[in-house]
A = this chain, B = another copy of it.
């Protein structure tokens, strides 16, 4: 393990991250909200810490092996999550404990969107902006991770996509290839964010709110600048815009990559992608189920409003954004539970969405169907195909491993919460919400996570990290094999 080379990279990362603190500091200057000092403090601490990490190892420019890639990815999220907590710790409003600051920071960076804060609209604008920005940065990080890095590391069956990403040929070294892919992804991500912000602004949001919510929409994060989330605006148009951009962000970014990286724009490949078709089918079915129940039970005054709410809420929960409107909690219980279950499926692989990812659930289902067929005709050979491609057993096994690791982490976290004093329902839904990077839960954590114990907050922050890092990336660090040289 080339520890010094890794520390060098982490030092660089922290220094780069420190510069992002300047933007909320500028927001504080504009609005004169008094939070500027916290961000300058955080900026200074980050910069110095990063420098101290980087300087002694500045000459350690070595090519890294894929094993070290795991460590860097985990450090990326844990270190940035930790220094990201600095502004919350340093700022007086909101008055957060250490555990709460970490929780909020991890929730932002992992795009989970669970919050410990009540009275969000009373916060300084700079803090509001910072929370949204954390999600946006986290979303960008996860796209690069999922599209460019995890396939190389081979986590959770995502080597499936290894061959599909255009760009430098396979036997090239890791670093330049990642950098090249990341640049294109960054432009796409920025373009979508600008488009989303414009749409929100034209639909009537203030410029500040439009930018803030575009950040958390494209990142499928779910943070808002209001306690009432997107429901605050009471606008069917804004709901629809959010849902449409959530769907776009829930698509595998390697499809967007293909669309933008050729000589001319192309869209045909979207419709040929089996994962995308299933993803859109899920959104459609969930919207229809919600709309039918809402209309049937006369929850809203008009059919139009019911459909708008159904579309918005189905997409928001199933893509794991977690935006809500105030009336969601009054829906017949069946619908929230259905949608929360659907968050286990989540977005497509290589999107900012959480959950198990559509492609994995699709593979598991195909395997289930194959088993049924095999029972009837034990001697026949059935192959699982995605599109025209036959799926290697190796990939299937990785997906299964992923599924069971996910289940294991789920159970362990839930038991830990209960041991720390939470009731079963809250514990169950809190783990669902955090592991799937969804955000809002049920019971004690339906509105916010402010009332739970500090220990529970740490457990849930860990659950967010497990979810965001596709479980295995983090789990592999706990194996003896990993540390043997």
Residues of A whose CB lies within 8 Å of any CB of B are 66-67, 70, 153-155, 333-334, 337-338, 341, 364-365, 367-378, 393, 396-398, 400-405, 408, 411, 414-415, 418-419, 423-425, 428, 442, 472, 475-476, 479, 481-482
Partner of A368 from B153, B364, B374, B405 at Cβ < 8 Å: B405
**Alpha-carbon separation in the docked complex, A334 to B341 (Å):** 23
Shortest A150–chain B CB gap in Å is 10
Partner of A424 from B372, B419, B442, B481 at Cβ < 8 Å: B442
Q: Are B368 and A423 in touch, CB under 8 angstroms? A: no
Q: Are B481 and A404 in touch, CB under 8 angstroms? A: no
- A–B pairs, 26, beta carbons within 8 Å: A67-B376, A154-B374, A154-B375, A154-B378, A333-B418, A334-B419, A337-B414, A337-B418, A337-B424, A341-B411, A364-B404, A365-B404, A367-B397, A368-B401, A368-B404, A370-B401, A371-B398, A371-B401, A371-B402, A371-B405, A372-B476, A374-B398, A393-B393, A393-B397, A425-B425, A428-B428
**Alpha-carbon separation in the docked complex, A70 to B376 (Å):** 9
A-B interface, 8 closest residue pairs, ranked by CB to CB distance from nearest:
A371-B401, A334-B419, A400-B400, A364-B404, A425-B425, A334-B418, A376-B481, A375-B476
Q: Are B334 and A375 in touch, CB under 8 angstroms? A: no
Shortest A67–chain B CB gap in Å is 6
Q: Are A375 and B423 in touch, CB under 8 angstroms? A: no
Shortest A34–chain B CB gap in Å is 43
Enumerate chain B residues within 8 angstroms of A66, measured Cβ to Cβ.
Answer: 378
Q: Are A377 and B333 in touch, CB under 8 angstroms? A: no
Q: Are B375 and A155 in touch, CB under 8 angstroms? A: yes
Closest to A394 in B: B374
Q: Are B481 and A400 in touch, CB under 8 angstroms? A: no
Shortest A442–chain B CB gap in Å is 7
Tell which of A371, A372, A472, A476 has the most Cβ of chain B within 10 Å: A371
* A415 and B375 in contact, given A365-B404, A401-B370 (Cβ under 8 angstroms): no
**Alpha-carbon separation in the docked complex, A418 to B332 (Å):** 9
Tell which of A153, A154, A337, A411 has the most Cβ of chain B within 10 Å: A337
**Alpha-carbon separation in the docked complex, A402 to B479 (Å):** 27
**Alpha-carbon separation in the docked complex, A424 to B481 (Å):** 41
Shortest A445–chain B CB gap in Å is 13
Enumerate chain B residues within 8 angstroms of A338, measured Cβ to Cβ.
Answer: 415
Shortest A378–chain B CB gap in Å is 6
Known pairs A154-B375, A374-B398; list 8 more (Cβ under 8 Å): A337-B415, A368-B404, A371-B397, A371-B405, A372-B401, A375-B476, A377-B481, A403-B404
Enumerate chain B residues within 8 angstroms of A476, measured Cβ to Cβ.
Answer: 372, 375-376
Shortest A215–chain B CB gap in Å is 32
